[in-house]
Structure 1
Amino acid sequence: MYDCMVDEAKLWLDEPPHRKRKLEAPPPPPPIVDYSLTTTFSDSDEEEIDPVEREKYRKQVVESGGFDVDFFPVYGSLYQSGSTPSTVLLSKVGLHTYNFDKGTYLQFRSVQKANEEYASFTTYYITVEAVDPFNDDSPVTFQTSVWDAATKSNESSRFITRVSRIKGTKEETSLWDHNAVDVFYKDDIAWLEDDALTGSDKLQYYEVKELDMRDNNEWLYLYAEVAMFSKWATDLSAYLPVKMNKVVVRTREDVESSMKLRSKNATFYMSFTACGGLECRGIIRRTTDGRPQHMSLQAICWIDN
């Protein structure tokens, strides 16, 4: 498990991760909550590690894939996180990945447990309580692993889902294959050109109709939340829900205009109003590597007032 994470992290080490930028002139923020946890890492020598403890920890990590671990020795890189703004948001991202792939509509209810592991960048292993609204809101225990990866294309955040499955299904996991992503989606993220909808590439664009936003595409509002989180990295409950003003999607996939929303590789340009009157613009670039359970969301946000 750890070797895989190190291999993935090496994909990004040629460029240091960007720091989350503070809002230049923020409105009164919600109450600050300290979500930090005390960790107990030490520099103990190998011979000082209790072999019984080491085996207990190793077995829990290997058998559960990092999800069902309740023993955290001082030398382990995995530690308990719990429900925080990050794990709540990434739970929704993982559910979106699953729904997008399976055509389902599972909805987030709460974080049951969450573990974090740091190997150059942070990977989250989150167990989620979800419900299926098309099956009498029956409860579903869901697992997602999301990698908070380095940023490389002018975005503020990049979240890569590596696991998105109903617990117990035993779907195999695999590394994210950066090389499998269309090179068209590897350039720097920038706002729409003035003539985007009328220029030579106009067939790549679609301005989303209001009906499309209501018709089982509520994940567009999640994308607005992801964009704002890339700017603030804090609890956003005081600024939700947002009012969506305009969404334009761009993709090179050869599909009918309204189906561009379902493109596996696409860029979404959004303008929206957050609670409190903040006028925002956000970009989400969605890409996949063709492997099950995988999705990458790159995000950036601007505040226009």
Structure 2
Amino acid sequence: MEELDFFKSPDEFPPRRGGYGLVHVDCVGKRGYTNSALVNLYAKLGLHRYNWLEGTNFELDSIMKFNMRGAASPYYITLVACLPSSGLQQIFQVLVEEERLGILDLTCPISRPQGTESSKKESTPFSRPHSEPVSATHQDRLLGWTKSVIPWPSSEIGFSDTKRFYMLNESELQCDWISLYVELAICTSHRWFKARDLSNFELEIVQVAIESLHDKEPPSLKSKAAVIYIAYKDLAKARTGEPYHYQVVVRRVINEATGTLSIQGDCWIAAAATASGLRSSPTS
């Protein structure tokens, strides 16, 4: 039987008993739509995965349409991306799967230019081959993820162990994927946010440390299997007198054998003692 293209509108699917339970949302020309903040972030996550594997720099331009189900759902997103250096526009198809609700727990097995041939054997045949797949010594996803599984290092230890942690310098803190991870951690636990709410965020990244999940691989900005510790300030909340020092822990695994990106994490208000001890990241 012919494989279904879930990036189509449901009325394009061949009829089948029971249906597929998909909700189709056409976003062209609309200022607001269902789960708009999450869909925008999921689209960016798909481009992040593609850029990482392919060495490109595509940025999200607009969402064309998406299909989803209820509760924890896969999101089949069709979007327009562009290359800032040339202005080239390209239509992409992205699949992001919500593993659980109320916390950051996502997998992204597909992010590709529209029209790329797919294969039933591999989830990402459109990616170039990779000779050194990620070690299988750890799971792509942690079951029952909570912040207590990989807690923030104690104030006594901090990030002083340079063999265990790589501290990002000031210029590296500007990497787009860092703020993307923070926004994903926030919005997956506050699903009512609208896309316009993202533009009101005033987040200042203070400090980022990367810990490799490989015993023999030193941590770096390019670690494909890593835990990322992010300290940030919410400047909008600071003006209202609310607590504004936050911490985010994200576990990221890019399985090079399949190309699947798995990302799990959580965010919380930093303890007063920790917040007062935050320091700016070292410069290069």
Q: What's the CA shift string for 1:79-99, capped at 9, x where partnerless? A: 213552221110011111111
TM-score (normalizing by structure 2): 0.71
Whole-Å separation in 1 of the counterparts to 2:154 and 2:140: 17
Q: In the alignment, what sits opposite 1:289?
A: 255
Sort the Cα spacing of 1:222 and 1:251 in 2 relative to 1 into closer, same or farther, 3 A: same
* Stretches of structure 1 lacking an aligned partner (at least 5 in a row): 1-57
Q: 1:55 corresponds to which residue?
A: none
Distance 1:183 1:295, change over 3 A: closer
RMSD: 3.0
Q: Which has the higher contact order (CA 8 A, sep 6+)?
A: 2
Q: 1:139 aligned to 78, 89, 103, which one?
A: 89
Aligned equivalents of 2:140, 2:65: Cα separation in 1: 37
Return closer, same or farther for 1:251/1:88 CA change in 2, 3 Å cut-off. Answer: same
Summarize the Cα distance change of 1:291–1:106 in structure 2 as closer, same or farther, 3 Å threshold. Answer: same
Q: Percent identity?
A: 22
Q: Is the 8 A contact 2:123 2:259 kept in 1?
A: no
Contact 1:181 1:287 in 2 (8 A): no
Question: Which moved further from structure 2: 71-80 or 229-238?
Answer: 71-80
Counterpart secondary structure, 1:95: helix
Partner in structure 1 of residue 163 of structure 2: 203
What are the within-5 Å matches in structure 2 for residues 25-40 of structure 1?
Answer: none
1:175-234 deviations in Å (ceiling 9; x for gaps) = 69xx947159747232123314335xx4121111112223xx221111111121133222
Per the alignment, residue 162 of structure 1 pairs with: 109
**CA apart distance, 1:164:** 0.9
Alignment-mate amino acid for residue 271 of structure 1: A
The secondary structure found in structure 2 opposite 1:250 is: strand
Match of 1:223?
181
Counterpart AA for 2:255: D
- In the alignment, the residues of structure 1 paired with residue 263 and residue 254 of structure 2 have an alpha-carbon distance, to the nearest angstrom, of 9
Structure 2 counterpart of 1:76, from 9, 14, 20: 20
Match of 1:128 in 2: 79
Is this contact kept in 1: 2:66–2:78, CA < 8 A? yes
Q: How does 1:77-116 map to 2 (within 5 A)?
A: 77-82=21-26, 83=33, 84-116=36-68
* 2:159–2:209 Cα contact (<8 Å) kept: no
CA distance in 1, matches of 2:59, 2:81: 5
**Aligned equivalent of 2:204, options 229, 243, 246:** 243
- Letter in structure 2 aligned against 1:80: H
TM-score, with length taken from structure 1: 0.67
**Aligned mates of 1:168, 1:183 — CA distance in 2:** 32
Task: Give the 3-state SS of the residue equivalent to 1:232 in structure 2.
Answer: coil
Distance in 2, matches of 1:76 and 1:185, equals 26
In the comparison of the two structures, how many residue pairs are matched?
232
Q: Note the residue ranges of structure 2 that are not aligned, 5 or more in a row.
A: 27-32, 125-134, 239-243, 273-284
Greater mean alpha carbon deviation, residues 68-77 or residues 161-170: 68-77
Distance 1:267 1:76 in 2: 36
Q: Distance in 2 between matches of 1:224 and 1:273?
A: 11
Q: Which has the higher helix share?
A: 1
